[in-house]
Amino acid sequence: MRVRTIRRLCARPDRSLVPDQRVSLTATERATVLKKTGGTCHVCGGPVGRKWQADHVVPHKLGGQARLENYLPICKECNRLRWFHTPDVVRLIMRLGVYAKNEIRHETELGDQLVALLRKRLRVNRKRR
């Protein structure tokens, strides 16, 4: 992957699109969405749990429609981490995550820095809540 491609994927997205008004799904619509994956999160593959959310496949902020065919079930944590990233960006994040995990596993200097950064970010996030 070229540096230019990585920088493009990490750049701020164009938010000039004006999304449709968000609407709540009915209980029947939620059941239909949940059946699509058999009750598993479409991102991590784990069980979605009681507080699962309906995720826009094409993100709402990027013009995704509020239609049943654009929803998949997602666990709360994955939905918070996914935000409105495009599939290309999600793949880059996953690739970087695999590299980061290996650095941490092998206890490299970079791995130690990543652990410290993660702990700091989690601490800041907890204080905000």
Longest dimension (CA), the chain: 51
- 3-class DSSP state of 54: strand
Separation of alpha carbons 72 and 56, rounded Å: 7
Separation of alpha carbons 20 and 60, rounded Å: 8
Q: Please identify, in words, the CATH class of the domain defined by 19-83.
A: alpha beta
Tens of each residue's pLDDT in the chain, 129 residues: 889 998 998 888 766 655 556 678 999 999 999 999 999 999 999 999 999 999 988 877 777 888 999 999 999 999 888 877 878 898 999 999 999 999 999 999 999 999 999 999 999 988 887
Residue 114's contacts (CB-CB under 8 Å, 6 or more residues apart) are: 100, 103, 104
Q: What is the pLDDT of residue 54?
A: 94
Q: State pTM to two decimals.
A: 0.71
Separation of alpha carbons 13 and 4, rounded Å: 15
Domain ranges of the chain: 19-83, 85-129
